[in-house]
Structures are given as structure tokens and as C-alpha cells.
Amino acid sequence: MDRDILKVGVFDDSTDLFEGQYKIPDGITYNSYVIMDEKIAVMDTVDKNFVDEWLSNLKKALGGRKPDYLVVHHMEPDHCAGLSAFLKEYPDVAVVGSKRAFSMIQGFFGDCVPETIEATEGGTLSLGSHELRFVMAPMVHWPEVMMSYELKSGSVFSADAFGSFGRPEDFDEWDEQADRYYFGIVGKYGAQVQSVLAKLAKFDVKAILPLHGKVIEKEIDRYISAYDRWSRYESDRDGVLIAVSSAYGHTMDAARLLSGYLGDRGVKDVVVADLNRDDMSSTVAKAFRYDKVVLACVTYNGDLFPYMREFLDCLVERNFKNKKVGIIENGSWAPVAGKLMEKRLEGCAGIEYCPTRVKITSAVNLQSISALSALADELKG
């Protein structure tokens, strides 16, 4: 990283639910950066529970100097909560952000910003030897979002994009924590991600500095390619996700049998996810990444079991598409889960159903075993 760009962010290992919904057993970082030059720019703040720690980090980094600008890339509270405390500490700072950011500042904090600089597409801010060029990134992940490209270092301050859960040093592979972040937080906005990737393609990007997780400094193309595939809704894992919602275990029995049959047929990457118990956001990310998904569900109160409903809602909300899908349904007297799962996905483009729909009436029997075997044949290719 450019030696004049300093990290002043914090690590949160105490919050149970990020955004009030995502479990984060490995924690999350709220990244903030300072560019030290003739003028000093602070890039974003942090979550409300870490403002004091962040201000202390910032003070150390500043070494007795005062910042000139606070650049606001994103106004979600995990990044903006320290804004008013920061302005109390440094009242002469000008706040730089998109037009929408300032209306959100008003909404969150009222009139607390003495001086504003509105950033626009392609606009620049010179700090001395460093210069920021602004890239608007609406809906990646909120409408006010922008990125900054710093010309001297080739650094992109990418807001939520390229972010990941966890603490980077705890994970070997970025995508272990980044796919769940992408598909959970940004996944609905593939078209907008494509739009900003096209803008970034015009820059010589040497580093990506997101608001969460790892600073990316090597193999930049690999990370950009991952975001390109994900935002195109292209699967990047050749295998089968079997997503199961089972009441008493019989539907799960079928899923495990299918997993074994796929293994027998040479399919190496098969994952059985228990929707009732496994982390939902991890399974959602897998559903987008695997090229084949099997939905296995018991009928319950004439509807789907609740966890399958939630799972399918998550997929549909995030524009699930371009997938080969297998169906396993169960029901002791009137199985309708298969029909209902297909109905829930009927607005999704590019869904190719396997011809065999496996029907179980209570427990797996010879007939359903034969159907599971046929389904494995259809999925193995």
C-alpha cells in the first residue's frame, strides 16, 4: 500500500448480527483510511460502537496534524456513525460526498456539517501529490455510494464492493468470506456492479481498499473477475448444491442418498446444506456460485417448510438466474412442495429444470430411490 495511505479502521468481534441479519461469528472490520499529503483526507468513519477506538487510531496516524477532508463513500451506519463525533473533534474539516450522501447526512445527523464539497462523476480533489477522482457507484450498495480512484498510487477506495466478513489475516482465501458478503449485501445489484466495473476498467488499478476486510494489492484481475462473474450471475463452481428443508429427516435422507449417487457418478463437488440449521447467507452464496442446485423440501401446512420459503425469497430477491435445478418434494398425504418451489422461482430467468422430479410420500422407498438415481444421472453432466 502507498506509504502515505494509512489504515485507521477497527475490528468488530462483538456484534452478533451485521445489518441486523447476518451472523458474523468471525467478526467484521470497518475499514477507514487516511491519505497524508499537503492536505489530509480521511476516508469514511466506522460503526457507532467503535468510534472512540477509531478516533484514537486516527489521532495516532495524524501525528499531531489536522485533517482537511472527510470523504464519505457510503452512508450506511456501519461507515458513517462516527461523522458527528469526528466533526466535533475536527470542526474545520470539509465533508466530501455525493449529493445523495448529503441528504442522508441530514437524515441521520441533522445540520452538523459546516462545509461541504459535492463530488460528481469524474470530479477531482487534489491533496498535493495525491489526487482523488470520483466514480459514482449508485446502488453498490445504496444510492449515494461513490468510489474514489487515487491517481498516484492507483488505489481504488471501493466502498462496500470487494468487501468481506471476518478479519483478513484469519483467512487464506478472500472468497471464503467475500462471496457471502457479496451475495448477501450487494447481490441484488448486479447491473449496477457491472456499470461501475466498466468505469474502473479505464483506470490502472494497483490496489483496492474496501470498507470491509482485505486490502487487495496482488492479482487484482482475479478479484475483479470474480466480481464480474458474480454480477453477471454466472456460476463459477462446477458442482451441486443440495439445499434441504426437512421436518423429521426423511427429506434429508433423500438428499444424502442423492449426494452419494452423485459421488458415485464422479461429481466431486457436492454440498448438502441444511436450511433449518446452516447459515442461510452462506447457502445463498453457494446457490449463486454452483451451477446446479437441488431444492429438497417437505410440504408443510399446504405450503413449503418455512426455511425453504426464506431461502427461495433470498434467491428471488437477489435475481437468481441461469441455473440447472433439481426438485425433491416430500409430503405424507398431499405433497405440493415441488409445484410451490417452481412457482416461487417462476420469475427467474434461465432456470432449467431436471426432467425427474423426485416425489417422496413420507419416507424414501424403492420408487424414490430409482428417481433419485435418475436425477443424479441428469445432474452429473
Enumerate binding residues for ligand FEO (CB under 6 A): 74, 76, 78-79, 141, 160, 185, 211-212
Q: 306-317 and 280-289 are packed helices; what angle lies between their axes, rounded to 10 degrees? A: 50
- Residue 79 CB, nearest approach to ligand FEO (Å): 6
As measured in angstroms, the least distance from the Cβ of 76 to ligand FEO is 4
Question: CB of 30: closest distance to ligand FEO in angstroms?
Answer: 8
From the CB of 210, what's the least distance to ligand FEO, in Å? 9
Residue nearer to ligand FEO on the CB measure, 319 or 368: 319
At 186, the amino acid letter reads V
Kindly give, in sequence order, each residue whose CB lies less than 8 Å from that of residue 359, ignoring residues fewer than 6 positions away.
Answer: 329, 330, 335, 338, 368, 371
In whole angstroms, the minimum distance from the beta carbon of 119 to ligand FEO comes to: 18
- The string of DSSP letters for 80-120 reads HTTHHHHHHH-TTPEEEE-HHHHHHHHHHHSS--SEEEE--
Phi, psi of 29 (to 5 degrees): -100, 145
Q: 41-43 and 33-35: which strand pairing?
A: antiparallel
Q: How far apart are CA 176 and CA 167, in angstroms?
A: 11
* Shorter beta-carbon distance to ligand FEO: residue 78 or 253: 78
User: Distance between CA 71 and CA 45 in Å, rounded?
Assistant: 9
At closest approach, how far in Å is the CB of 140 from ligand FEO? 9
Report the residue number, 44 or 329, with the smaller CB distance to ligand FEO. 44
Instruction: Identify which of residues 80 and 375 has a Cβ nearer to ligand FEO in the complex.
Output: 80
Closer to ligand FEO by CB, 134 or 182: give it: 182
- Whether 50 and 78 have beta carbons less than 8 Å apart is answered as no
Q: Which is nearer to ligand FEO, 213 or 335 (CB)?
A: 213
Task: With CA atoms as reference, report the closest residue to 59 among 104, 93, 90.
Answer: 90
